[in-house]
Structure 1
Amino acid sequence: MANLTADSLVASAAIKCPADKFFNFFRYKMNEIVKIFPAAFTGVQLLEGEEGTVGCVKRWNYIVGGIPLSATEKIAAIDEGAKSITFAVLEGDLLLLYKSFEATLTVSEGLAKWTFVFEKATLLTPPPELYVPLVITLSTLVDAFLLLN
Structure 2
Amino acid sequence: MSSSSSLVGKLESSTEIEASADMFHHMLLHKPYHVSNASPNHVRACVLHHSDWGKVGSIICWTYFLKGELKTAKEVIESVDPKNNSITMRVLEGDILEEFKSVVVKCKATPSAKGNGCVVQWILEYEKLKEDVADPETTLEMLVEVCKEMGAHLTKP
Q: TM-score, normalised by structure 2?
A: 0.89
Query: How many Å apart are 1:70 and its aligned residue?
Result: 0.8
Deviations 1:16-41 (A, max 9, x none): 22211111111111110112211111
Moved more, 109-118 or 30-39: 30-39
Deviations 1:60-115 (A, max 9, x none): 11110111111111111101222110111001111111100011101101200100
Structure 1: state its 5+ residue gaps. none
Q: Does the Cα contact within 8 Å between 1:101 and 1:116 map onto a contact in 2?
A: yes
Instruction: Please give the alpha-carbon distance, in whole angstroms, between the structure 1 residues aligned to 2:107 and 2:44.
Output: 21
Match of 2:4 in 1: 3
Match of 1:102 in 2: 104
**Aligned-residue identity in percent:** 25
For the pair 1:126 / 2:131, whether they are aligned, the reply is no
Match of 2:145 in 1: 137
Q: Does the Cα contact within 8 Å between 1:11 and 1:135 map onto a contact in 2?
A: no
Instruction: Please give the alpha-carbon distance, in whole angstroms, between the structure 2 residues aligned to 1:147 and 1:75.
Output: 26
- Partner SS state of residue 46, structure 1: strand
Q: Does the Cα contact within 8 Å between 1:73 and 1:91 map onto a contact in 2?
A: yes
**Letter of the 2:135 counterpart:** P
- Partner SS state of residue 85, structure 1: strand
Match of 1:41 in 2: 43
Query: How many Å apart are 1:129 and its aligned residue?
Result: 0.6
Match of 2:115 in 1: none
- Partner SS state of residue 126, structure 1: coil
Query: How many Å apart are 1:3 and its aligned residue?
Result: 2.0
- Partner SS state of residue 155, structure 2: helix
Moved more, 104-113 or 129-138: 129-138
**Letter of the 1:100 counterpart:** S
Q: Does the Cα contact within 8 Å between 2:124 and 2:140 map onto a contact in 1?
A: no
Structure 2: state its 5+ residue gaps. 112-117
- Partner SS state of residue 148, structure 1: coil
**Letter of the 2:77 counterpart:** I
Q: Does the Cα contact within 8 Å between 1:36 and 1:141 map onto a contact in 2?
A: yes
Displacement over 6 Å in runs of 4+: none
Match of 1:114 among 113, 122, 125: 122
